Amino acid sequence: MPKASKTKLMKKYLAIILILSLFLVANAQKKQVYMFTSFNEPATEGLRFLYSYDGYHWTDAGSTFIKPEIGKQKVMRDASIAQGPDGTFHLVWTSSWRGDLGFGYASSKDLIHWSKQRMINVMAYDTSTVNVWAPELFYDNEGKRFLIVWASTIPYKFPKGEEDERNNHRLYYTVTKDFKTFTPTRLFFDPGYSVIDAMLVKRAPKDYVMVVKDNTRKGRNIKVAFSSNVEGPYTNVSAAFTPDFSEGPSTIKVGNDWLIYFDAYRGKYYGAVKTSDFKTFTDISKEVSVPQGHKHGTIFMASEKILDNLKKEVATRKSK
């Protein structure tokens, strides 16, 4: 073969290899994996991650990635993460059991390097507030904004019911586009009894589900409610579909099913139910595996590249 032809053929092969390489890189960046925020008691060590390729079987990433520095008790509980359209991951968490008027916030591009932590004092307008628990992030892609929903107790604000005045929670929320300015705090959900640990799910336009813990003394279990508007009102509250003494629900879609994970804290296990319609629920706790010690977190999606870099970071730390 003439030299010129060989050179031309070689260039063609190199071009094909380059195109395939770019395709593989782009595909790896697009391929998504399931990530689960986590913490181990007593919640002072910081944020952990679990990961899964199928939504059923979870592995601990093997390290902590941001240590709590703010709040009266400096804990990092109930961490929730949502990714914005610019790729930034936004993190919120419970910073104290009692005494804080807000929740912690930080952001990251890679889940390894984090911005400076700061407190978002969403309940500063009422200093009698006992607590700010389990802030949950939801990205509203239609409104291009984030909703943050959490539970707080304001003594004597609501009928006493089953709970004492320092444990009678209701859900509140605020809205932000940039985590710099926030709408005034408003009541999000008041079913007439104590509720905490809310998570929002969008099934379709004008079709939202809220998964929430009924925190009253009789059961303390998980229910769902429905709305045509992301900001509510949420109505038609279901019967409980988890064992009593369950909390921290987190929901993901796997195939045609929705999986709702929950912390069965009295039974000392992490369980899950499966549903296709949020009306009938099947317990699949024996079909899932969650590392021992994992506590209340929320599930989000990340690229496989993000996870691979996370694993490399953990390996580097362990080799030192």
Q: What is the pLDDT of residues 44-69, one digit of tens each?
A: 999 999 999 999 999 999 999 999 99
**Residue 11: what pLDDT?**
57
Q: 61 and 175 share a domain?
A: yes
**Which CATH number is 279's domain given?**
2.115.10.20
Kindly report, residue by residue over 238-275, the tens digit of the pLDDT: 999 999 999 999 999 999 999 999 999 999 999 999 99
Kindly report, residue by residue over 188-239, the tens digit of the pLDDT: 999 999 999 999 999 999 999 999 999 998 889 999 999 999 999 999 999 9
Span 284-296, mean pLDDT? 96
DSSP one-letter string for 192-244: SS-EEEEEEEEEETTEEEEEEEE-STTT-EEEEEEESSTT---B-PPPP-S-S
User: What pTM does this model have?
Assistant: 0.90
Q: 85 and 185 share a domain?
A: yes
Q: 101 and 198 share a domain?
A: yes
DSSP one-letter string for 239-271: PP-S-SSEEEEEEEEETTEEEEEEEETTTTEEE
| 315: CB partners within 8 A, 6+ apart | none
**Residue 160: what pLDDT?**
86
In the structure encoding, which two tokens stand for residue 236, read together? 């038609």
Q: 99 and 149 share a domain?
A: yes
Q: Rounded distance, CA 172 to CA 251, Å? A: 20
| Domain extent for 11 | 1-30
Q: 26 and 53 share a domain?
A: no
- Give the model's confidence band at 2: pLDDT under 50 very low, under 70 low, under 90 confident, else very high: low
Residue 15 near residue 9, CB atoms below 8 Å: no
In this structure, what are the phi and psi dihedrals at residue 247, rounded to the nearest 5 degrees? Answer: -155, 180
Residue 90 near residue 105, CB atoms below 8 Å: yes
Q: Is 4 helix (H, G, I), strand (E, B) or coil?
A: helix
Percent share of the chain, pLDDT over 70: 91
Residue 148 near residue 137, CB atoms below 8 Å: yes
Q: Is 16 helix (H, G, I), strand (E, B) or coil?
A: helix
Check residues 20 and 302 and name the one with the higher pLDDT: 302
**Residue 315: what pLDDT?**
96
**Residue 220: what pLDDT?**
96
Q: Rounded distance, CA 315 to CA 306, Å? A: 14
In the structure encoding, which two tokens stand for residue 58, read together? 């979870």
Q: 24 and 139 share a domain?
A: no
Q: 132 and 272 share a domain?
A: yes
Q: 153 and 10 share a domain?
A: no
* Per-residue pLDDT at 26 exceeds 50: no
For the stretch 250-259, contacts whose Cβ atoms lie closer than 8 Å and that sit 24 or more positions apart, written own/partner, are 250/36, 250/199, 250/297, 250/298, 250/299, 251/199, 251/201, 251/211, 251/299, 252/34, 252/55, 252/299, 254/54, 254/55, 254/56, 258/201, 259/55, 259/56, 259/284, 259/288
Please give the tally of structural domains in the chain: 2
Q: 26 and 36 share a domain?
A: no
Residue 104 burial by CB count (10 A; 0-12/13-18/19+): exposed, middle or buried? buried
Q: Rounded distance, CA 201 to CA 69, Å? A: 31
Residue closest to 79 by CA, chosen among 102, 119, 112, 47 = 47
Q: Kindly report the number of other CB atoms within 10 A of residue 84's CB atom.
A: 17
**Residue 162: what pLDDT?**
86
* Per-residue pLDDT at 33 exceeds 70: yes
Q: 26 and 40 share a domain?
A: no
Q: 137 and 273 share a domain?
A: yes
Q: Which helix (H) or strand (E) holds 312?
A: helix 304-319
* Per-residue pLDDT at 99 exceeds 70: yes
DSSP one-letter string for 56-88: SB-EEEEEE------SSS---EEEEEEE-TTS-
Residue 299 near residue 36, CB atoms below 8 Å: yes
Q: Rounded distance, CA 163 to CA 155, Å? A: 11
* Per-residue pLDDT at 13 exceeds 90: no
- Give the model's confidence band at 320: pLDDT under 50 very low, under 70 low, under 90 confident, else very high: confident
Q: Which helix (H) or strand (E) holds 145?
A: strand 145-152
In the structure encoding, which two tokens stand for residue 160, read together? 């006493």
**Residue 12: what pLDDT?**
61
* Per-residue pLDDT at 3 exceeds 70: no
Span 115-143, mean pLDDT? 98
In the structure encoding, which two tokens stand for residue 227, read together? 């709305």
Mean pLDDT score across all residues of the chain: 93
In the structure encoding, which two tokens stand for residue 235, read together? 């109505």
**What would you report as the CA-atom Rg of the chain, rounded to the nearest whole angstrom?**
22
